[in-house]
């Protein structure tokens, strides 16, 4: 699946869906702080990386695993756009 | 014999200006820590704290939190470390079970304490004291050491572990218990004044007591590792490099996490000498990853539950394991401990024979706080054939002695599991989940996964008729009752759970179904 097609916001919605269904997190707003809010721990992060890699077909490397890429749904969406463009 | 606080006092006399502890914000010397904790202890006495009173300390990992522990000991009390992240009902039960008369609290933890409905010991409840106010108030007290009446066999701290009935158990650890471990470990790891050692374990867990008191005794620098560094795999290696650590001690799950994302370079951490882990099995592929990259480091596996203080056996690897399926022995007893395999008949088992791992000697604690029944059950007299006198601790772990004379771990006899270094009774999660009104039935299963976490916790449940319940709602409710590390990673709702011929929920069938569905192979 290619995320760049479709309207702005579709990708954010898709990531929100992964967080809610695969990681069983509550429904969060796109700019909610996933790290400060305590929603992401290392187990959840591994899960999330697995689902992003499966869904969007790119590999997440050590240098990608940083707060700026994972601190909110918006940031994750930006990160996915950058890698799968 | 000396008390734990005297380990600091001696280092402060020998090397007053050397750095004792470094946290994310500050550095403190041995002399400053010594006088600061004396002042804080005098304030506690002035407030009415008496010998053997329990004091909860609910604050994030920092110099002032460690200072609060030491101050409680210096005032003759027993400290009870509490998770500042809660959840409030669990912390509240711990305050009640331990009978704390006073809780020292940081601003971050104040909302959690406010939510908890605990009753501080009614005799003369000292209430809550803000750690930051305490530091200011303490400044007006003299910095000289105090005389206390506590002795080496009095409790130093009470540490809570997960309990199968849903109620956490408070293990009473004495000054002598901890001191005995340090007397073996510091010479073995050659921990001395030139060392910079990690403080990785959360302060509620007993590995942290070796971090703290082992480094104070050695005159070494203790570098408290901020918990937020556990999230991204690059951050811990960067910390080890920046702080030029010489000794690292943690649960193996964080080490496996770094290995999974290949965060360690060949020849990384040139000043690191000793790497030790405890708390669960370190999977061989990840262990080999580390050993191949760090040929200059000595790798030691430690084993032992909180009830027998920090660790009771050790095994230092002399070569990189060749085979992924090979397991690492838990090794031989530390000095002063006796570790025996006891058969179902209650006798010391022969070589190679499987049985329960039982521990006697200097590490065996007093048992569970105000719970004589469970203490008597878990700490019976030593089995016939053991050379130590007195009581032993029945770990509930299975093991055997291999042909080389090393102990090997062979799983659990019950439903206790280890996940990311945390000891979890599945029963505690089940009790919590079944207390949620919308849940009709629920079981918690632990499945092995080929992952750094080792074990995945899965919840299968059904909802009360007419109740709107889903995985997300359930997780949110459960998160109010148990700590985050106990939350199941996966949820599965069913209309009804299968029963076995005894009319109980059929765990065997559910487990088989999950494994067939490939949850394990994910």
- Per-residue three-class SS string for B39-96: HHHHHHHHCCCCCCCEEEEECCCCHHHHHHHHHHHHCCCEEEEECCCCCHHHHHHHHH
Q: Cα-atom radius of gyration of chain A, to the nearest Å?
A: 12
Residue A59's CB is within 10 A of a number of other CB atoms, namely 9
pLDDT tens, residue by residue, B452-478? 666 889 999 998 888 889 998 899 899
pLDDT for B142 beyond 70: yes
pLDDT tens, residue by residue, B159-197? 999 877 778 899 999 999 999 999 999 999 999 999 999
Residues in contact with B516: Cβ distance below 8 Å, sequence separation at least 6, in sequence order = none
Burial class (CB in 10 A: 0-12, 13-18, 19+), B496: exposed
Element (H, E) at B187: helix B175-188
Residues in contact with B115: Cβ distance below 8 Å, sequence separation at least 6, in sequence order = B86, B88, B92
- Whether residues A45 and B451 touch (CB distance < 8 A) is answered with no
Highest mean pLDDT among A37-41, A79-83, B332-336, B494-498: B332-336
- Whether residues B234 and A20 touch (CB distance < 8 A) is answered with no
Closest-approach residue (CA) in chain B for A49: B261
**What is the pairing mode between strands B332-333 and B313-316?**
antiparallel
Q: How far apart are the C-alpha atoms of B349 and B340, rounded to whole Å?
A: 8
Percent of chain B predicted with pLDDT > 70 = 96
Residues in contact with A5: Cβ distance below 8 Å, sequence separation at least 6, in sequence order = none
Q: Which residues of B have a CB under 8 Å from any CB of A?
A: 85, 228, 230-234, 254, 257, 260-263, 420, 451-453, 471-472, 474-476, 484-485, 489-491, 522
pLDDT of residue B129: 80
pLDDT tens, residue by residue, B49-100? 999 999 999 999 999 999 999 999 999 999 999 998 888 888 988 998 999 9
pLDDT for B451 beyond 70: no
Task: Provide the shortest C-alpha distance from residue B57 to chain A (in Å).
Answer: 22
Whether cis (ω within 30° of 0) applies to the bond prior to B87 is yes
- Whether residues A21 and B491 touch (CB distance < 8 A) is answered with no
Q: Cα-atom radius of gyration of chain B, to the nearest Å?
A: 23
List, in sequence order, every residue forming a beta bridge with B333; answer none if it has no partner. B313
- Which tokens in the block code for residue B462? 């059904």
Burial of B264-303, coded b for 16+ CB within 10 Å and e otherwise, reads: beeebbebbbbbbbbbbbbbbebbbbbbebbeebbbbbbb
**What ipTM score was computed for the predicted complex, to two decimals?**
0.86
Asked if B102 contacts B56 with a C-beta cutoff of 8 angstroms, the reply is yes
Q: How far is CA B476 from CA A22, A27, B36, B115, B331, in A?
A: 14, 11, 41, 17, 42
Residues of A in contact with B420 (CB under 8 A): 42-43
Residues of B in contact with A25 (CB under 8 A): 472, 475
- Which tokens in the block code for residue B426? 């599945």
Burial of B203-233, coded b for 16+ CB within 10 Å and e otherwise, reads: bbbbbbbbbbbbbbbbbbbbbbbbeebbbbb
The SS3 call for residue B169 is strand
- Which tokens in the block code for residue B120? 């501080």
pLDDT tens, residue by residue, A11-23? 999 999 999 888 8
Closest-approach residue (CA) in chain A for B473: A26
pTM of the model: 0.88
């Amino acid at each position: 699946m290619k995320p760049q097609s479709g309207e702005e916001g579709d990708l954010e919605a898709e990531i929100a869906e992964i967080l809610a269904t695969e990681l069983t997190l509550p429904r969060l707003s796109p700019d909610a702080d996933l790290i400060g809010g305590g929603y992401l721990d290392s187990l959840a992060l591994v899960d999330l990386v697995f689902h992003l890699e499966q869904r969007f077909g790119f590999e997440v490397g050590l240098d990608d695993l940083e707060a700026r890429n994972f601190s909110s749904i918006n940031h994750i969406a930006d990160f996915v756009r950058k890698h799968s463009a | 014999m000396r008390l734990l606080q005297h380990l600091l006092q001696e280092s402060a006399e020998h090397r007053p200006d050397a750095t004792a502890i470094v946290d994310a914000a500050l550095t403190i010397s041995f002399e400053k820590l010594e006088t600061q904790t004396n002042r804080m202890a005098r304030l506690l006495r002035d407030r009415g704290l008496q010998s053997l009173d329990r004091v909860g300390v609910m604050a994030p990992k920092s110099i002032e939190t460690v200072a609060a522990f030491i101050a409680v000991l210096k005032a003759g009390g027993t400290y009870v470390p509490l998770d500042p992240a809660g959840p409030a009902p669990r912390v509240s039960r711990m305050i009640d079970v331990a009978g704390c008369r006073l809780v020292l609290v940081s601003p971050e933890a104040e909302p959690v304490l406010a939510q908890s409905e605990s009753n501080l010991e009614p005799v003369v409840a000292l209430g809550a004291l803000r750690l930051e106010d305490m530091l200011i108030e303490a400044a007006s007290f003299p910095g000289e050491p105090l005389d206390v009446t506590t002795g080496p066999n009095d409790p130093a701290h009470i540490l809570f572990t997960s309990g199968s009935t849903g109620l956490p158990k408070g293990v009473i650890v004495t000054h002598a218990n901890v001191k005995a471990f340090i007397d073996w470990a510091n010479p073995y790891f050659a921990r001395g004044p030139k060392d910079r050692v990690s403080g990785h374990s959360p302060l509620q867990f007993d590995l942290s007591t070796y971090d703290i008191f082992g480094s104070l005794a050695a005159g070494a620098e203790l570098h408290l590792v901020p918990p937020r560094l556990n999230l991204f795999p690059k951050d811990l290696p960067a910390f080890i490099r920046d702080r030029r650590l010489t000794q690292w001690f943690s649960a193996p799950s964080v080490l496996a996490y770094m290995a999974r994302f290949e965060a360690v370079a060949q020849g990384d951490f040139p000043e690191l000498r000793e790497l030790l882990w405890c708390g669960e099995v370190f999977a061989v592929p990840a262990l080999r990853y580390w050993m191949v990259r760090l040929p200059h480091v000595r790798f030691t596996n430690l084993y032992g539950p909180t009830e027998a203080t920090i660790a009771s056996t050790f095994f230092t690897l002399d070569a990189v394991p060749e085979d992924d399926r090979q397991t690492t022995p838990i090794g031989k007893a530390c000095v002063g401990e006796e570790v025996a395999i006891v058969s179902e008949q209650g006798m010391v088992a022969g070589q190679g024979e499987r049985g329960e791992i039982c521990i006697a000697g200097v590490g065996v604690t007093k048992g569970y706080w105000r719970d004589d029944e469970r203490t008597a059950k878990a700490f019976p007299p030593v089995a016939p054939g053991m050379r130590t006198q007195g009581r032993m601790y029945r770990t509930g772990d299975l093991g055997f002695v291999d042909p080389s004379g090393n102990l090997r771990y062979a799983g659990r006899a019950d439903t206790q599991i280890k996940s990311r270094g945390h000891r979890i009774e599945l029963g505690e999660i089940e009790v919590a989940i079944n207390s949620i009104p919308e849940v009709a039935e629920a079981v918690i299963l632990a499945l092995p996964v080929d992952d750094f976490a080792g074990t995945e916790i899965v919840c299968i449940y059904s909802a009360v008729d007419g109740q709107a319940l889903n995985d997300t709602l359930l997780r949110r409710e459960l998160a109010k009752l148990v700590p985050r590390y106990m939350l199941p990673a996966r949820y599965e709702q069913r209309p009804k759970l299968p029963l076995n011929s005894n009319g109980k929920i059929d765990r065997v069938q559910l487990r088989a179904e999950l494994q067939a569905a490939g949850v394990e192979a994910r």
